[in-house]
Amino acid sequence: MANGNGKTGLLERVRERTAEAVDRLRGSQFMESVFRPGSPFKKGYADSPRNRSYVIMNNVLYHLHPVKVKRHGVKLSYTLCLGGLSFFLFILLTITGIFLMFYYAPTAERAYVDIQALSTNVAFGSLVRNMHRWGAHLMVLTVFLHMSRVFYHGAYKPPREFNWVVGVVLLLLTLLLSFTGYLLPWDQLALWAVTVGTNMAGFVPVFGDQVKFALLAGVEVTAGTLLRWYVLHVLFLPFIIVIFMAVHFWRVRKDGGISGPL
């Protein structure tokens, strides 16, 4: 565009060049290969009903979402996004948890010292640890609220009965994940909270003592308990919960998407 005396403004030229460069990049073979047909990141994407379908259909997201969803389900007030947020918190917890694993050894000598060192010796260590802990509490809360939302909508009714059962298992696994993580800082709070919690398990009829012994790897909370709960927390329970989540999400799709409207 001309500015008064016929010369092109500098800003205008920069803008044009940038647009050209972006276009060339988006048209390059590499970018063409990264994004599948219909991606809004592709050169020449136009907003049309067909392309809107392709965005989902030609994308890994198609494993989670259908191309079209019921209109009432999109309203935030219907689900409050609680199930999605629970899943998202699980991802956040996985990321922050992997970060923490770099700086933590599950032994009685090092566990507590490592956690202390997080806030002094590690960049963002304190922030990431806080995110992991509060995120875990939030996830227990969102999973529980998600269950309540589903109950109030009657969304467990046929054909969704079994997905409700899977959901209850997921709640249990969430609680177990949170509880096993509780011991890992190896401070007084951790030790005694776990002592109280496992004492309750000792009241299981007939097998009470055996259950308690298996949980604690002994008769009281020791270094062996720490290692056991660490493995449960970072490997075993996440592995199980991912399987149940896969079934849960798959069943949501197969049982006809979101329930309702009321």
Partner 1 sequence: MTEIPESLLRRSAEAKAKALGIPVEQVLAEMKGEAPPTPPAASEPSEQTAPPAEPSPQEPSSDPAASSGDVDALLAKAAQVAGMPEALLRRSAEAKAKALGVPLVNVLAEMAGEAPPVGAEAPPPAAEPPAGAPQPAEAPAAVAVEEPTVPAPTGNGGGKVAAVVSPRPSVPPAGVPEGVRTQRLLTVVKAKAIQQVKAEPHDKVNTWPHLMLVEFVALLAMTGLLILMSVALQAPLLEAANPNLTPNPSKAPWYFLGLQELLSYFDPQIAGVTVPTIIGLVGFMMIPYVDRNPSTKPSDRKLAIMLYTIFLAGSATLTILGVLFRGKGFNFSYPWKDGIFFDDLKDWVSFE
Residues 54-73 close enough to bind partner 1 by CB under 8 A: 55-56, 61, 65-73
List CB contacts of 82: < 8 A, sequence separation 6 or more.
142, 145, 146, 149
Q: Closest CB to partner 1 among 118 and 234?
A: 118
Please tell me whether residue 138 binds partner 1 under the rule CB under 8 A. Answer: yes
Site for partner 1 (CB under 8 A): which residue of 100, 215, 216, 221? 221
Stretch that binds partner 1, among 1-9, 10-18, 20-28, 182-190 (CB under 8 A): 182-190
For residue 228 the two structure tokens come to 């056991």
What number of chain residues touch partner 1 (CB under 8 A)?
84
CB 115 within 8 A of CB 100: no
Please tell me whether residue 219 binds partner 1 under the rule CB under 8 A. Answer: no
List CB contacts of 226: < 8 A, sequence separation 6 or more.
106, 107, 108, 111, 183, 184, 186
**Nearest alpha-carbon partner for 177 in 146, 136, 148, 227:** 136
Q: Closest CB to partner 1 among 11 and 69?
A: 69
Site for partner 1 (CB under 8 A): which residue of 34, 204, 219, 242? 204
Please tell me whether residue 85 binds partner 1 under the rule CB under 8 A. Answer: yes
Please tell me whether residue 179 binds partner 1 under the rule CB under 8 A. Answer: yes
Stretch that binds partner 1, among 16-24, 86-94, 97-105, 236-244 (CB under 8 A): 86-94
Residues 3-32 close enough to bind partner 1 by CB under 8 A: none
245: left (phi over 0), alpha (psi -120 to 50) or beta: alpha
CB 213 within 8 A of CB 219: yes
CB 152 within 8 A of CB 260: no
Q: Closest CB to partner 1 among 127 and 246?
A: 127
For residue 2 the two structure tokens come to 């001309």
What track of x and - describes contact with partner 1 for positions 109 through 128 (by CB under 8 A)? ---x--xx---------xx-
Cα-based distances in Å from 184 to 67, 127, 213: 43, 17, 19
- Nearest distance from residue 24's CB to partner 1, in Å? 26
* DSSP 8-state assignment for residue 7: P
- Could you give the CA distance from residue 41 to residue 34 in angstroms, rounded to a whole number? 10
Q: Closest CB to partner 1 among 15 and 63?
A: 63
Site for partner 1 (CB under 8 A): which residue of 16, 23, 209, 220? 220
Please tell me whether residue 83 binds partner 1 under the rule CB under 8 A. Answer: no
Burial class from Cβ neighbours inside 10 Å (0-12, 13-18, 19+) for residue 218 reads: middle
Stretch that binds partner 1, among 7-15, 129-137, 231-239, 243-251 (CB under 8 A): 129-137
